[in-house]
Chain A
Amino acid sequence: DAGVTQSPTHLIKTRGQHVTLRCSPISGHKSVSWYQQVLGQGPQFIFQYYEKEERGRGNFPDRFSARQFPNYSSELNVNALLLGDSALYLCASSGQETEAFFGQGTRLTVV
Protein backbone atom coordinates (compact mmCIF):
# COMPACT_ATOMS: atom_id res chain seq x y z
CA ASP A 1 0.00 0.00 0.00
CA ALA A 2 1.14 3.51 -0.78
CA GLY A 3 1.80 5.73 2.18
CA VAL A 4 0.93 9.39 2.46
CA THR A 5 2.23 11.19 -0.61
CA GLN A 6 2.98 14.89 -0.82
CA SER A 7 3.87 17.05 -3.75
CA PRO A 8 6.05 18.77 -4.62
CA THR A 9 8.97 17.62 -2.48
CA HIS A 10 10.80 20.92 -2.77
CA LEU A 11 9.65 24.38 -3.77
CA ILE A 12 11.19 27.83 -3.99
CA LYS A 13 8.92 30.87 -4.03
CA THR A 14 9.38 34.62 -3.85
CA ARG A 15 7.94 36.81 -1.11
CA GLY A 16 4.37 37.84 -1.85
CA GLN A 17 3.64 34.85 -4.06
CA HIS A 18 1.06 32.15 -3.46
CA VAL A 19 1.75 28.44 -3.02
CA THR A 20 -0.37 25.28 -3.14
CA LEU A 21 0.82 22.07 -1.53
CA ARG A 22 -0.87 18.74 -2.14
CA CYS A 23 -1.40 15.61 -0.09
CA SER A 24 -2.86 12.20 -0.88
CA PRO A 25 -3.78 10.18 2.22
CA ILE A 26 -3.48 6.47 2.73
CA SER A 27 -6.33 4.62 1.06
CA GLY A 28 -9.29 4.42 3.41
CA HIS A 29 -8.18 7.30 5.62
CA LYS A 30 -10.71 10.12 5.80
CA SER A 31 -8.77 12.55 7.99
CA VAL A 32 -5.94 14.75 6.79
CA SER A 33 -3.91 17.12 8.95
CA TRP A 34 -1.30 19.70 8.02
CA TYR A 35 1.72 20.72 10.07
CA GLN A 36 4.45 23.31 9.69
CA GLN A 37 7.94 22.53 10.93
CA VAL A 38 10.53 25.28 11.04
CA LEU A 39 14.18 24.44 11.59
CA GLY A 40 14.94 23.27 15.11
CA GLN A 41 11.32 23.01 16.23
CA GLY A 42 8.74 20.26 16.39
CA PRO A 43 5.88 20.23 13.88
CA GLN A 44 3.11 22.75 14.59
CA PHE A 45 -0.51 21.93 13.83
CA ILE A 46 -2.13 24.04 11.10
CA PHE A 47 -5.37 22.31 10.05
CA GLN A 48 -7.29 19.09 10.30
CA TYR A 49 -9.97 17.99 7.85
CA TYR A 50 -12.32 15.05 8.26
CA GLU A 51 -14.89 14.08 5.68
CA LYS A 52 -14.20 17.32 3.84
CA GLU A 53 -14.98 19.50 6.85
CA GLU A 54 -12.53 21.52 8.89
CA ARG A 55 -12.29 19.98 12.35
CA GLY A 56 -9.42 21.95 13.80
CA ARG A 57 -7.26 24.97 13.15
CA GLY A 58 -4.01 25.98 14.76
CA ASN A 59 -2.72 29.46 15.51
CA PHE A 60 -1.92 30.50 11.96
CA PRO A 61 -2.96 33.64 10.06
CA ASP A 62 -5.75 33.72 7.51
CA ARG A 63 -3.14 33.59 4.75
CA PHE A 64 -3.19 29.87 5.39
CA SER A 65 -6.16 27.90 4.07
CA ALA A 66 -6.88 24.33 3.14
CA ARG A 67 -9.52 22.11 1.69
CA GLN A 68 -10.26 18.42 1.32
CA PHE A 69 -11.69 16.86 -1.80
CA PRO A 70 -14.26 14.05 -2.20
CA ASN A 71 -11.43 11.55 -2.69
CA TYR A 72 -10.00 12.76 0.67
CA SER A 73 -6.91 14.32 -0.86
CA SER A 74 -6.11 17.78 0.41
CA GLU A 75 -4.49 21.06 -0.53
CA LEU A 76 -2.81 23.61 1.68
CA ASN A 77 -2.71 27.14 0.30
CA VAL A 78 -0.58 29.97 1.57
CA ASN A 79 -1.04 33.49 0.22
CA ALA A 80 1.28 36.50 0.37
CA LEU A 81 4.29 34.42 1.32
CA LEU A 82 6.69 35.74 3.93
CA LEU A 83 10.28 34.72 4.54
CA GLY A 84 9.11 33.19 7.81
CA ASP A 85 6.88 30.75 5.95
CA SER A 86 9.98 28.84 4.90
CA ALA A 87 9.57 25.44 6.51
CA LEU A 88 8.89 21.77 6.03
CA TYR A 89 5.15 21.27 5.53
CA LEU A 90 3.92 17.89 6.64
CA CYS A 91 0.69 16.11 5.87
CA ALA A 92 -0.67 13.29 8.02
CA SER A 93 -3.58 10.96 7.40
CA SER A 94 -5.46 8.85 9.87
CA GLY A 95 -8.42 6.51 10.00
CA GLN A 96 -11.10 6.41 12.65
CA GLU A 97 -9.15 4.10 14.93
CA THR A 98 -5.66 4.29 13.47
CA GLU A 99 -2.65 6.41 14.23
CA ALA A 100 -1.51 9.37 12.18
CA PHE A 101 0.87 8.51 9.38
CA PHE A 102 2.99 11.29 7.95
CA GLY A 103 4.24 11.99 4.47
CA GLN A 104 7.80 13.02 3.74
CA GLY A 105 6.84 16.65 3.55
CA THR A 106 7.27 19.56 1.18
CA ARG A 107 10.30 21.77 1.79
CA LEU A 108 9.23 25.34 1.04
CA THR A 109 11.85 28.05 0.72
CA VAL A 110 10.71 31.66 0.41
CA VAL A 111 13.30 34.07 -0.95
Chain B
Amino acid sequence: DAKTTQPTSMDCAEGRAANLPCNHSTISGNEYVYWYRQIHSQGPQYIIHGLKNNETNEMASLIITEDRKSSTLILPHATLRDTAVYYCIVRAAGGSNYKLTFGKGTLLTVNP
Protein backbone atom coordinates (compact mmCIF):
# COMPACT_ATOMS: atom_id res chain seq x y z
CA ASP B 1 0.00 0.00 0.00
CA ALA B 2 1.18 3.49 -0.81
CA LYS B 3 2.53 5.66 2.00
CA THR B 4 0.70 8.78 3.11
CA THR B 5 1.95 11.99 4.70
CA GLN B 6 -0.21 14.16 6.94
CA PRO B 7 0.47 17.14 9.20
CA THR B 8 0.87 16.18 12.83
CA SER B 9 -1.75 18.59 14.11
CA MET B 10 -4.22 21.27 13.05
CA ASP B 11 -6.58 23.67 14.77
CA CYS B 12 -10.00 24.82 13.62
CA ALA B 13 -12.60 27.17 15.04
CA GLU B 14 -15.99 25.72 15.83
CA GLY B 15 -18.45 26.28 12.99
CA ARG B 16 -15.73 26.80 10.41
CA ALA B 17 -14.65 24.34 7.75
CA ALA B 18 -11.79 22.02 8.62
CA ASN B 19 -9.56 21.11 5.69
CA LEU B 20 -7.22 18.19 6.35
CA PRO B 21 -4.56 17.53 3.69
CA CYS B 22 -2.92 14.25 2.78
CA ASN B 23 -0.11 13.48 0.36
CA HIS B 24 0.02 10.07 -1.34
CA SER B 25 2.39 10.61 -4.24
CA THR B 26 3.07 6.87 -4.81
CA ILE B 27 -0.59 5.87 -5.08
CA SER B 28 -1.33 3.19 -7.68
CA GLY B 29 -4.14 3.25 -10.20
CA ASN B 30 -6.25 0.69 -8.33
CA GLU B 31 -5.81 2.22 -4.88
CA TYR B 32 -8.46 4.20 -3.11
CA VAL B 33 -8.02 6.96 -0.55
CA TYR B 34 -9.76 6.22 2.75
CA TRP B 35 -10.28 8.46 5.74
CA TYR B 36 -10.90 7.27 9.26
CA ARG B 37 -10.95 9.17 12.52
CA GLN B 38 -10.38 8.14 16.08
CA ILE B 39 -11.82 9.98 19.01
CA HIS B 40 -9.79 9.52 22.17
CA SER B 41 -9.71 5.89 23.36
CA GLN B 42 -12.39 4.75 20.92
CA GLY B 43 -12.11 2.53 17.86
CA PRO B 44 -11.46 4.21 14.49
CA GLN B 45 -14.55 5.38 12.63
CA TYR B 46 -14.88 5.22 8.85
CA ILE B 47 -15.55 8.62 7.27
CA ILE B 48 -15.31 8.44 3.48
CA HIS B 49 -13.32 7.02 0.61
CA GLY B 50 -12.77 7.78 -3.07
CA LEU B 51 -10.83 6.75 -6.17
CA LYS B 52 -10.50 9.81 -8.36
CA ASN B 53 -13.77 11.70 -8.25
CA ASN B 54 -14.72 14.01 -5.42
CA GLU B 55 -16.99 12.35 -2.91
CA THR B 56 -19.44 13.69 -0.35
CA ASN B 57 -21.49 12.06 2.37
CA GLU B 58 -23.27 13.18 5.51
CA MET B 59 -20.00 13.46 7.41
CA ALA B 60 -17.53 15.03 5.03
CA SER B 61 -16.30 15.75 1.53
CA LEU B 62 -13.21 14.29 -0.09
CA ILE B 63 -11.38 16.23 -2.76
CA ILE B 64 -8.77 14.28 -4.75
CA THR B 65 -6.41 16.11 -7.09
CA GLU B 66 -6.47 15.23 -10.76
CA ASP B 67 -3.08 13.49 -10.57
CA ARG B 68 -4.32 11.66 -7.42
CA LYS B 69 -1.12 12.46 -5.56
CA SER B 70 -2.91 14.33 -2.79
CA SER B 71 -6.32 14.79 -1.27
CA THR B 72 -8.19 16.94 1.24
CA LEU B 73 -10.83 15.90 3.71
CA ILE B 74 -13.31 18.68 4.40
CA LEU B 75 -15.53 18.87 7.46
CA PRO B 76 -17.85 21.70 6.39
CA HIS B 77 -18.94 22.93 9.83
CA ALA B 78 -16.63 21.58 12.49
CA THR B 79 -18.00 20.99 15.98
CA LEU B 80 -16.21 20.26 19.25
CA ARG B 81 -17.13 16.59 18.77
CA ASP B 82 -14.99 16.50 15.62
CA THR B 83 -11.85 16.79 17.73
CA ALA B 84 -10.03 13.56 16.90
CA VAL B 85 -7.05 12.01 15.12
CA TYR B 86 -7.76 11.76 11.40
CA TYR B 87 -6.06 9.05 9.37
CA CYS B 88 -5.59 9.09 5.61
CA ILE B 89 -5.05 5.58 4.25
CA VAL B 90 -4.44 4.25 0.75
CA ARG B 91 -5.44 0.71 -0.20
CA ALA B 92 -6.95 -1.33 -2.97
CA ALA B 93 -10.70 -1.65 -2.42
CA GLY B 94 -12.81 -4.80 -2.38
CA GLY B 95 -11.74 -8.40 -2.31
CA SER B 96 -11.19 -10.59 0.72
CA ASN B 97 -7.91 -9.07 1.84
CA TYR B 98 -8.54 -6.15 4.11
CA LYS B 99 -5.49 -4.55 5.66
CA LEU B 100 -5.37 -0.91 6.69
CA THR B 101 -1.95 0.69 7.13
CA PHE B 102 -2.31 3.55 9.59
CA GLY B 103 0.24 6.30 10.01
CA LYS B 104 0.22 8.70 12.93
CA GLY B 105 -2.58 10.81 11.46
CA THR B 106 -3.49 14.43 12.09
CA LEU B 107 -4.77 15.54 15.46
CA LEU B 108 -7.55 18.01 14.70
CA THR B 109 -8.50 20.22 17.60
CA VAL B 110 -11.72 22.17 17.22
CA ASN B 111 -11.72 25.21 19.45
CA PRO B 112 -14.80 27.04 20.80
Q: Which residues does B use to contact A, with CB under 8 Å? A: 34, 41-46, 49, 85, 87, 94-105
8 Å CB contacts to B: which residues of A60-77?
none
Contact check, A99 vs B46: say whether CB atoms are below 8 A apart. yes
Expressed in whole angstroms, the Cα–Cα distance for A102 and B102 within the complex equals 13
- Per DSSP, are chain B's interface residues mostly helix, strand or loop, or mixed? loop
Can you name the residue of chain B whose Cβ is closest to the Cβ of A47? B99
Known contacts A48-B99, A96-B94, A90 near B49 by CB under 8 Å: no
For A19-34 the 0/1 string (1 means CB < 8 A from B) is 0000000000001010
List 12 A-B residue pairs with CB atoms under 8 Å apart, sorted by A's residue number. Answer: A4-B43, A33-B99, A43-B102, A50-B98, A51-B96, A55-B98, A56-B98, A90-B43, A96-B95, A99-B49, A102-B45, A105-B43
Given contacts A55-B96, A105-B43, A107-B41, 15 further A-B contacts (CB under 8 A): A31-B96, A40-B104, A42-B87, A42-B103, A43-B44, A45-B100, A50-B97, A55-B98, A56-B98, A56-B99, A90-B44, A92-B44, A92-B100, A96-B94, A102-B43
Asked whether, in the complex, the Cβ of B43 is within 8 Å of the Cβ of A103, the reply is: yes
Residues in A1-50 with C-beta less than 8 Å from chain B: 4, 31, 33, 35, 40-45, 48, 50
The range of chain A's interface size is 20 to 34
Knowing A31-B98, A42-B104, A55-B96 touch, does A104 contact B34 (C-beta < 8 A)?
no
B33 to A: closest C-beta gap in Å: 13
* A99 to chain B: closest residue by CB: B46
Interface string of A83-107 (1 = CB under 8 A from B): 0000010101010110111111101
On whether the beta carbons of A101 and B46 are closer than 8 Å, the reply is yes
Give the complex CA separation of A102 and B97 in angstroms.
16
Contact A100 B98 (CB under 8 A): yes
